[in-house]
Amino acid sequence: MFEKYFAEFYVSEQELKDEIHSTLTRLNILDPEKWPSDVLEHATPQKPAQEFLLILNASIPELSIDELTLKEFESIEVLRLTAIKLKVLLNGKHLDYLLTKQLFMLCSNFFLGMRYLLVTEILSTKLNREPRYNLDMIFSILTKDFLDPTKASLTLLAAKAAHEEIDKLFADESAAQFVRHIKEFESAAEKYIKDNYFLAVFEAFTQIANEAFIKNVDIVEAGIQLGASFTPTEIKDWADGVLKTVRQNTSRRLGIKKGGKRERQGFAWTDEKKIAFFKKVESLPKVRSQSCWQFALNELIDQEFSAETVSWLKIHPAFKALPESLFRNAVKVWRKYLERENWSEMRREESPRAFELRHALHLLEYPDKFTFSTLETHFYAGKKLAKSES
């Protein structure tokens, strides 16, 4: 299988020397500091193979052409290995430019989506301007559907909307510092990609190679009948091992270390805390005989989530001393139901009730790390405990 990729190197000694010299010439053009021209002057293809290799070894230590290698292997074998090593280095330099450029161009809408996400967050949280379009829908199209040919027209529309919001921020002189930070973030991300993309590509190739063997192992079993066929469990373990290696490499690059036993944070849902939680939820302010969060949702629906309505609700007395992030998150998750007006299909953890419970957590200074179902359970437990006390 792999031999055909090396066929070009199974030629004569002279052809190998010519190939090596040609590869060094191209490396010199691409990176003259690392591959100086004096190597080309001394290592001319007309020299005998042994002398040619010794000159290369003296000038390019990373080729590792030591005396033992020259003694144990024939000159043509060492020339072949040297030609392959140099071609791999040359191909790598071409890939550094061509492959990264191709990937950045191919995934331009993905990067546009990330910039759009940052811009809309700045517009809404720092400049108090609500995005004109449905953030979640546009972000999803740009980052998930951009390679789907059946959604090409939709992607173009999403890109146009994103550019409109981005241009609005980038043209605003008062937002210059935010634009600068966005560009710094993107430059850092680009550098990280360029520094690590080849390792990730190599990991992906190793993964797909393992998949190819797993997928086609039955051909060997059926044709050769070695008598030691792979069971479904063994194949699954093989695949899981490949994925585990990929995850470990990702964690290593991101500096994520496997944690040991974690200490408990000290918070526990005692009966007293459950009762306090129930009472706090019940005491949350009401507006027009309904919870402040239901009132906020109704107003937003009536006014189609206009920026003026969002700004007015933020300063409403009912939301006094509330973290802006909690209210902003409510607007964000509710807005995605506006397009289809499918309010009856709203998920329980995104409902006004869910934000009531998290509002109470904040006022009590309880940690906000619990699921909606857990909070509901503790609310009703507190209600039962409070009733038994009275």
What CA–CA distance (Å, rounded) separates 9 from 159? 47
Taking alpha carbons only, the member of 299, 272, 254 closest to residue 385 is 272
pLDDT at 261: 46
Q: Average pLDDT over the chain, rounded to whole? A: 84
The more confidently predicted of residues 224 and 126 is 126
Is the per-residue pLDDT at 19 higher than 60?
yes
| Range name among 253-262, 297-306, 323-332 with the lowest pLDDT average | 253-262
Torsion of CA 22, 25, 26, 32, to 10 degrees: 160
The lowest-confidence range among 244-248, 261-265, 351-355 is 261-265
Question: pLDDT, tens digit, for every residue of 30-73?
Answer: 888 888 788 787 778 888 988 888 888 777 777 776 665 666 78
Amino acid 264: pLDDT: 47
How many Cβ atoms are within 10 Å of 13's Cβ, its own excluded? Answer: 16
pLDDT at residue 2 in the model: 77
Mean pLDDT of 276-290: 90
Per-residue confidence (pLDDT) for residue 282, from 0 to 100: 93
Structure tokens at 285: 């302010």
| Burial class, 382, CB count within 10 angstroms (exposed 0-12 / middle 13-18 / buried 19+) | buried
Q: What is the pLDDT averaged over residues 231-259?
A: 73
**Please, are residues 299 and 96 in contact by the beta-carbon 8 Å criterion?**
no
pLDDT at 326 over 80: yes
Q: Is 332 exposed, middle or buried (0-12, 13-18, 19+ CB in 10 A)?
A: middle
Judge residue 356's burial from the number of C-beta atoms within 10 Å of its C-beta, 0-12 exposed, 13-18 middle, 19 or more buried: buried
Measured distance CA(52)–CA(64) in Å, rounded? 14
**H-run or E-run covering 234:** helix 232-254
Contact 198, 95 (CB under 8 A): yes
**Both tokens assigned to 139:** 């972000």
Chain-centre distance of CA 153, in angstroms? 25
- 346 in helix, strand or coil? coil
**Two tokens, residue 136:** 């979640």
Q: Does residue 28 contact residue 36 with C-beta atoms inside 8 Å? A: yes
**Angle of CA points 241, 246, 250, to nearest 5°:** 145
Residues comprising the chain, all counted: 390
With both helix axes pointing from N to C terminus, report the angle between 176-224 and 152-170 in degrees, rounded to the nearest 10: 150
Question: What distance in Å separates the CA atoms of residue 221 and residue 219, rounded to the nearest whole number?
Answer: 5
151 pLDDT tier (thresholds 50, 70, 90): confident
- Taking only the tens place, the pLDDT of each residue in 172-226 is 888 899 999 999 999 999 999 888 888 888 888 888 888 888 788 777 666 666 5
Strand partners, 286: 291
CA separation for the pair 200, 204 (Å, rounded): 6
| β-strands 290-291, 286-287 pairing | antiparallel
